[in-house]
């Protein structure tokens, strides 16, 4: 890589529904989830130079990663692993992450950052964007890694890593709300199992070419099986769900992933703006973002 820095957008992932079956003998949970991506997220920049692969983190939520060894960060791990599979020496590559998404939030932030790192590293190494080694490494980073690498609407089954095209979706106007509480994925899954893991991994049957009203109606027949255990473990999650659902602009309110971020689908951009302004006024210390869901979004 020579010249100007390369930049990639790492969008927030939102699970419009998440059906979770009891664990298999290997301890993994089969799932079915319709995943979409927001036009808000982190930004990752890569520049040639330094010695080996390095990472510096800036932005509003950078302090949340202050105690993490950079070598354990998914950005560094993904870039090194891709270079290894490509049979090349570790490139001299400095990453700068603008961390705009909250952590432990159910938004796939780490996996999306890794996906951005893979796209940038592939460009540096001269690999095609559809080189299968990128998806292999993304899967090694986590079950939602392949979806976050694709960063476009997908239906995930299996562990969430078997991807297929969803029905054609309309523009989705939404609001993301995070109260600042941590919702740890492992603890939520353990609570789900302790409750008997009552869900299943059947995909939700949705009509094709949905409009906004039909999408909300169809999604109402689904659920997030991790919502109840996350809310039981973290009462602030339950409070967030209740507050957002009370607002007249919220047509569908649900937890994303294992939380703690709640999303609300709205009729249009005007309703989403009104909802975001209302929540921000009521809870000025919360992270609240109006967004559009879908993807892929422009890079940079």
- What is the spatial distance between Cα 116 and Cα 199, in angstroms, rounded to a whole number? 32
Q: Is 13 a catalytic residue?
A: yes
Q: Is-contact 38 14, C-beta < 8 A?
A: yes
Number of Cβ within 10 Å of residue 171's Cβ equals 11
Burial of 168 (0-12, 13-18, 19+ CB in 10 A): exposed
Which one from 42, 98, 113, 144 is the annotated catalytic residue? 144
Q: Is 144 a catalytic residue?
A: yes
CA dihedral angle for residue 263, residue 266, residue 268, residue 271, rounded to 10 degrees: -100
Which one from 13, 64, 98, 113 is the annotated catalytic residue? 13
Q: What angle do CA 141, 142, 146 make, to 5 degrees?
A: 85
Q: Is-contact 17 223, C-beta < 8 A?
A: yes
Residue with tokens 């559009």: 292
**Active site positions, annotated:** 13, 144
């Amino acid at each position: 890589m020579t010249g100007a820095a390369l930049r990639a957008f790492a969008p927030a992932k939102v699970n419009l529904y998440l059906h979770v079956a009891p664990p298999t003998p290997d301890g993994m949970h089969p799932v079915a989830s319709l995943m979409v991506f927001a036009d808000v997220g982190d930004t990752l920049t890569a520049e040639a130079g330094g010695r080996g692969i390095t990472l510096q983190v800036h932005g509003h939520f950078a302090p949340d990663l202050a105690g993490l060894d950079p070598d354990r960060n998914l950005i560094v791990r993904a870039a090194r692993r891709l270079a290894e599979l490509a049979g090349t020496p570790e490139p001299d590559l400095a990453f700068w992450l603008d961390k705009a998404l909250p952590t432990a939030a159910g938004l796939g932030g780490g996996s999306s950052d890794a996906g951005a790192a893979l796209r940038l590293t592939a460009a540096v190494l001269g690999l095609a964007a559809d080189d299968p080694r990128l998806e292999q490494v993304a899967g090694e980073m986590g079950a939602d890694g392949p979806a976050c690498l694709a960063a476009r609407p997908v239906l995930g089954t299996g562990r969430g890593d078997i991807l297929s095209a969803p029905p054609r979706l309309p523009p989705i106007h939404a609001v993301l709300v995070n109260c600042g509480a941590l919702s740890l994925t492992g603890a939520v899954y353990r609570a789900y199992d302790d409750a008997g893991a009552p869900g299943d991994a059947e995909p939700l049957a949705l009509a094709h070419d949905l409009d906004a009203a039909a999408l909300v109606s169809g999604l109402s027949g689904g659920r997030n099986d991790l919502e109840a255990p996350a809310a039981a473990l973290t009462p602030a999650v339950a409070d967030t769900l209740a507050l957002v659902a009370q607002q007249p602009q919220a047509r569908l309110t649900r937890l994303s992933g294992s939380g703690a971020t709640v999303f609300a689908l709205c009729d249009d951009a005007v309703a989403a703006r009104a909802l975001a302004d209302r929540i921000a006024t009521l809870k000025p210390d919360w992270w609240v973002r109006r967004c559009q869901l879908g993807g892929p979004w422009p890079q940079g």
